[in-house]
Amino acid sequence: MNAKLSFVLAFAAACVTTATVAQELKGDAQAGSTKIAMCIGCHGIKGYQASFPEVYRVPMISGQNAKYIASSLTAYQKGDRKHPTMRSIAASLTAKDMADIAAYYESHGKDDSVTLPEKASEASASTAALLAKGACASCHGANLNKPMVPGYPKIAGQYKDYLYVSLKSYKQDGQSTWGRSNGVMGGITKQFTLAELKQLSAYVSSQQGELKTVPQSKFRK
């Protein structure tokens, strides 16, 4: 078995393994709508920027896979993701809260009339080589918007600065206040230079996807 095939098989196995630990509780979107007061102050404002560990736009989460949102919140709660603000928010949530919030955002702003391309647009030769090296489509889908398992995120069209910071965070070891612990993504991102991660982020962000920010008032009735 050649090295490339071995890598693809191992990568696929890791995807499936990670998916088994994703949140399995069935969320209630209506209930979730009453639990998002701590979310909308950032994720309900288009272009809202975080300032730690550097300035970047917070991710668009409306339209994201529910199981990915729930598993991300669980990772913050457990400390596998170390962003202080998100950790404090996640610490206050029960597993059912996470499932409900995730269900809400998965359906939030959904537009079934939009037809997305089956494959991502053609990349430059250098970007295509990076995509192949990282086997991005193996988990995130050919159009980077249809992950092979619901526990993985849609990434097409996500803000490039957020993607870049996220990818960098998987490269961090031994940091107490930022970084992400994930064996699969850690192994992948450490293959790349920061310049290459920035190049990948720009390409992924340029693709058409379902993610969006739906403006919401911070004052809820």
Instruction: Identify the pLDDT of residue 174.
Output: 75
What is the pTM (predicted TM-score) of this model? 0.88
pLDDT category at 112 given cuts 50, 70, 90 is: confident
Q: How far is CA 81 from the centre of its chain?
A: 12
Across 117-134, average pLDDT: 98
Q: What is the pLDDT of residues 190-221, one digit of tens each?
A: 999 999 999 999 999 999 999 999 998 765 55
Q: Residue 188 corresponds to which tokens in the numbers above?
A: 């992948």
Is residue 19 scored above 70 in pLDDT? Answer: no
Given a contact cutoff of 8 angstroms between Cβ atoms, the answer to whether 158 and 172 are in contact is: no
Instruction: Identify the pLDDT of residue 142.
Output: 98
Instruction: Supply angle C-alpha 113, 115, 117, rounded to 5.
Output: 170
Q: What is the pLDDT of residues 141-195, one digit of tens each?
A: 999 999 999 999 999 999 999 999 999 999 987 788 899 999 999 999 999 999 9
Indicate the DSSP class of residue 123.
P
Residue 43: is it exposed, middle or buried by C-beta count within 10 angstroms (0-12/13-18/19+)?
A: buried
Q: Which residue ranges make up each domain of the chain?
A: 3-109+120-205
Mean pLDDT of the chain: 90
Given a contact cutoff of 8 angstroms between Cβ atoms, the answer to whether 75 and 68 are in contact is: no
pLDDT category at 8 given cuts 50, 70, 90 is: very low
Is residue 67 scored above 80 in pLDDT? Answer: yes
pLDDT category at 59 given cuts 50, 70, 90 is: very high
Across 98-123, average pLDDT: 95
Instruction: Identify the pLDDT of residue 22.
Output: 38
Q: Spelled out in words, what is the top-level CATH class assigned to the domain 3-109+120-205? A: mainly alpha
